[in-house]
Amino acid sequence: MAATDTSVDWADHALARLASDGYRSSAPRAEIIEVLAGLGCSVSAREITAELQRRGSTTGSASVYRTLDLLERLKLVQRVDVSEGLARYEPALPGGDHHHHVVCDRCGKVSAFEDEALEAAINRLSLRLDFAIDAHDVTLRGECPGCRRAD
């Protein structure tokens, strides 16, 4: 999968942030960030580990989980809980651009969506509540068209 300018920017941003926050540079951490940037939206730790193995890396799943945990704490990735015990991750873009997700409760399929009206409603809610919203994540759950047709 070819890296986009946005994914390269995110990877550079993530590595710079780690360095500026005093975290040591390591090849496994850099590999994980590169893979996550390339895979993009809503990937599991298992998928990241599989891609690393496909590339011939010796970086193991424990390193992937530790790095994802660190990136989440630094708000460099967004964690999306899709079902019991399964989390997916995606780069948190430095400019704040984001999208939301719809998850099929039957097959686990995750699809991204953007909605300007939803963003406007969240902004209006923020004003009504007099609450400064730093970030938000909307995950809608239901059944995808394929699972509905299977009934």
| pLDDT, tens digit (0-9, with 9 covering 90-100), for 31-44 | 999 999 998 788 99
**Tokens representing residue 60 in the block:** 């193991």
Determine the Cα–Cα distance for residues 141 and 94; give it in Å rounded to an integer. Answer: 27
What does DSSP assign to residue 136? Answer: -
- In CATH, 100-150 is 3.30.200.20: no
Query: Where do the structural domains in the chain lie, given as residue ranges?
Result: 5-91, 100-150
Contact 13, 66 (CB under 8 A): no
Tens-place pLDDT, residues 78-130: 888 777 678 889 888 777 677 888 888 888 888 888 888 998 999 999 999 99
Q: What topology is assigned to 5-91 in CATH?
A: Arc Repressor Mutant, subunit A (1.10.10)
Neighbouring CB atoms inside 10 A of 63's CB total: 19
**Which residue's structure tokens are 């850099």?**
30
